[in-house]
Amino acid sequence: MRRDVVVGRFHQEPMVIDAVHAVRSCGLRIADVYSPYPIHRLDEAMAIARSRLPLVALAGGVGGLIAALALELYTSVIDWPLNVGGKPDASLLAFIPIAFELTILGAGLATAAGLLIRSRLAPFGAAPVVDRSATDDTFAVVVHCRDSAIDRRLVEQLLLNYGAMSVESRGLPR
């Protein structure tokens, strides 16, 4: 079995950040960090790019808005105009509430769908790769390294110096 990552398990958040900084300043690559809750400074430490989900939400919202206005105008003006209390067929002011609701609906559903698709979340998706306790109380830092005993020893020692409770070399997850 190839062993090209080193997994360091931590029990405290600040140590994780320090370890990630140290690993990266040594020129090593972080495969990923698994944690029971989001660590804000990790985005910066791991140089994770800003998500483009806001654009997905915008697209969903615009789609919802266009769909709502198209539905309202087509049914009330083109397909079957009905005189209700003498109000104009194209009562745009009265169409605003439903257009607003469908804008929100489109944006919300697009955001959720975007999150699930981009993060590959699906029913019975991949089982936890590193450690079952990474969803409980453990922070697992996974570092890429060459498949050589010397490199592995160095990375393991680095993680231990930064407070890892245990280290382990194994194959790349997934």
Give residues 131-170 in contact with other proteins (rule: CB under 8 A): 132-137, 158, 161-163
Candidate segments 1-9, 21-29, 145-153, binder of other proteins by CB under 8 A: 21-29
For the four alpha carbons of 141, 9, 127 and 144, in that order, the dihedral sign comes to positive
Nearer to other proteins by Cβ, of 75 and 148: the residue is 75
Q: Which of 112, 144, 151, 153 binds other proteins (CB under 8 A)?
A: 112
Alpha helix segments (H runs only) across the chain: 13-25, 40-45, 53-73, 92-118, 149-161
- The reply to whether 57 sits near other proteins by the rule CB under 8 A is yes
Query: Does 51 contact other proteins by CB under 8 A?
Result: yes
Report the nearest approach of other proteins to the CB of residue 161 (Å).
5
C-alpha to C-alpha distance for 49 and 42, rounded to whole angstroms: 11
Q: Which stretch binds other proteins (CB under 8 A): 2-10, 70-78, 145-153?
A: 70-78
DSSP classification of residue 77: I
Q: Whole-number minimum distance, CB 155 to other proteins, in Å?
A: 12
Does 26 help bind other proteins (rule: CB under 8 A)? yes
E strand or H helix at 141:
strand 139-144
Residue 110 to residue 152: CA distance in whole angstroms: 43
